[in-house]
């Protein structure tokens, strides 16, 4: 029973990080899947398979190393020299994704309430700083709290979007393929990059979750369930936005626009969920970033938190949400590719050694 409970915490925590950084707004799914047309669904399925394989290996490494930060993971998979380079790049990635989350909070409040984006970003920063005072175990629970509610609301939006589809398939496909706002020029590359950039930001916190687990079975269960949950949400979001693409494509947060189309009340609930998930991902990026250089509760930890937040808020105030997503995510998807290749090589070597 304890293993199941531990596994569910890991699953919710892992999914919570990806949902916030990867598709709570809908803009990310739009660029990486929906705008490729129906073939984007194949990309979503591929993503789910990759998440299952890769998250399992990352979480198990955290359990084996009892990691308190991602540093041990990078050396475990990449070796000492390359591991140092990947370690530095992951630190940069965590900071930049944290900055994107600050910008996303500002964009959300600007779209929904019409207030300047700086205030929404500042609110994300202040709440994140408060939550960094939690212990590691409580932080993991906090990140996963909104996942069940997110699944329910996305399911409602998906049902509405398909039932109220006004265009036929050929028209939807033509409109999707006419879009220029894509992450890459090919759906397969886009799908792999989506996994890699998400792992760049999620791997550090997943390693910490694995290090906190009591048994390896709980780690395996949590990583697989979390990946399946992510896959279901990606598929629901992709198909819902595809069915209503002509209506929501112009919005920086298309899922919020779609929820508001169904009902103002649902729109309000969706806005709160998106804000909460953005906050989750901001916390899940800042927390392991700080743990890489200090211990929770120390003065050094608090000083670094304040410095990183101030710099992130400054950068976010000069850039829009969509441009940041378009630039940062594909760029650090390339970093994630290094991690993916390293994991595959380590996995193959391990299994070959077992056969000898």
Tell me how far apart the alpha carbons of residues 266 and 157 are, in angstroms, rounded to a whole number: 9
Query: Pick from 248, 351, 333: which is nearest to 27 by CA?
Result: 248
Cβ atoms of 190 and 329 closer than 8 Å: no
94 pLDDT exceeds 60?
yes
234 phi, psi to nearest 5 deg: -65, -45
Cβ atoms of 321 and 24 closer than 8 Å: no
Give the pLDDT of residue 231. 92
Cβ atoms of 112 and 278 closer than 8 Å: no
327 pLDDT exceeds 70?
no
Give the pLDDT of residue 324. 60
Q: DSSP for 107-176? A: HHHHHHH---HHHHHHHHHHHHHHHTTS-HHHHHHHHHTTHHHHHHHHHHHHHHHHHT--S-HHHHHHHH
Give the pLDDT of residue 224. 92
Indicate the average pLDDT of the chain. Answer: 81
Residues with Cβ < 8 Å from 122, sequence gap 6 or more? 313
Tens digit of pLDDT for each residue in 106-132?
777 776 777 777 788 888 889 888 888
Q: What mean pLDDT do residues 66-91 have?
A: 77
Copy the structure tokens of residue 115: 């207030």
pLDDT band at 326 (very low <50, low <70, confident <90, very high): low
Give the pLDDT of residue 232. 92
Give the pLDDT of residue 332. 66
Whole-prediction pTM value? Answer: 0.83
34 pLDDT exceeds 90?
no
**Range of 15-19, 36-40, 352-356 with top mean pLDDT:** 36-40
CATH number of 2-355: 1.20.1740.10
Tens digit of pLDDT for each residue in 137-158?
777 777 777 888 888 988 999 9
Burial class (CB within 10 angstroms; exposed 0-12, middle 13-18, buried 19+) of 277? buried
355 pLDDT exceeds 70?
no
Cβ atoms of 233 and 147 closer than 8 Å: no
Give the pLDDT of residue 23. 60
Give the pLDDT of residue 227. 92
Copy the structure tokens of residue 305: 């938190």
Give the pLDDT of residue 336. 73
The H-or-E segment that residue 205 falls in is helix 187-212
321 pLDDT exceeds 90?
no
Alpha helices in 244-298 (DSSP H): 245-248, 254-262, 264-291
Copy the structure tokens of residue 270: 């969706």
Give the residue carrying structure tokens 């050396």.
75
Query: Pick from 285, 275, 280, 277: which is nearest to 332 by CA?
Result: 285
Give the pLDDT of residue 315. 79
Give the pLDDT of residue 46. 93
Tens digit of pLDDT for each residue in 204-244?
888 888 888 888 898 899 999 999 999 999 999 999 989 88
Give the pLDDT of residue 111. 67
Count the Cβ atoms, other than its own, within 10 Å of residue 117.
Answer: 21
Copy the structure tokens of residue 90: 């992951």
The CA-based diameter of the chain, rounded to the nearest angstrom, is 64
Q: How far is CA 53 from CA 87, 224, 227, 229, 236, in A?
A: 21, 8, 9, 14, 21
Tell me how far apart the alpha carbons of residues 68 and 298 are, in angstroms, rounded to a whole number: 15
Tens digit of pLDDT for each residue in 246-295?
788 777 778 888 888 888 888 888 888 888 888 888 888 888 888 888 88
């Amino acid at each position: 029973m304890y293993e199941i409970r531990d596994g569910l915490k890991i699953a919710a925590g892992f999914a919570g990080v990806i949902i916030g950084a990867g598709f709570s707004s809908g803009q990310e799914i739009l660029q990486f899947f929906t705008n490729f047309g129906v073939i984007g669904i194949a990309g979503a399925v591929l993503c789910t398979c990759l998440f299952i394989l890769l998250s399992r290996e990352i979480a198990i490494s955290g359990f084996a190393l009892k990691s308190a930060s991602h540093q041990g993971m990078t050396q475990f998979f990449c070796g000492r020299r390359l591991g140092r380079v990947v370690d530095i790049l992951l630190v940069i990635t965590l900071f930049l994704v944290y900055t994107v989350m600050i910008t996303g909070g500002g964009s959300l409040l600007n779209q929904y309430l019409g207030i300047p984006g700086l205030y929404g970003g500042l609110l994300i920063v202040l709440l994140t700083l408060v939550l960094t005072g939690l212990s590691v175990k409580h932080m993991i629970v906090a990140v996963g709290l909104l996942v069940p509610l997110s699944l329910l609301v996305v399911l409602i939006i998906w049902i509405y979007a398909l039932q109220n589809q006004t265009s036929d398939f050929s028209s939807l496909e033509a409109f999707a393929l006419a879009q220029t706002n894509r992450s890459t020029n090919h759906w397969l590359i886009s799908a792999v990059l989506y996994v890699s950039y998400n792992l760049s930001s999620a791997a550090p916190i997943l390693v910490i979750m694995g290090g906190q687990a009591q048994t390896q079975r709980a780690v395996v269960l949590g990583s697989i369930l979390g990946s399946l949950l992510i896959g279901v949400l990606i598929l629901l979001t992709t198909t819902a936005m595809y069915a209503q693409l002509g209506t929501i494509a112009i919005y920086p947060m298309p899922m919020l626009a779609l929820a508001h189309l169904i009902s103002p009340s649902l729109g309000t609930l969706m806005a709160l969920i998106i804000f909460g998930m953005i906050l989750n991902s901001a916390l899940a990026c800042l927390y392991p970033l700080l743990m890489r250089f200090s211990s929770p509760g120390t003065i050094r930890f608090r000083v670094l938190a304040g410095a990183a937040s101030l710099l992130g808020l400054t950068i976010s105030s000069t850039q829009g949400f969509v441009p940041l997503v378009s630039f940062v995510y594909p760029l650090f998807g390339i970093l994630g590719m290094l991690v993916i290749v390293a994991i595959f090589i380590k996995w193959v070597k391990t299994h070959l050694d077992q056969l000898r």
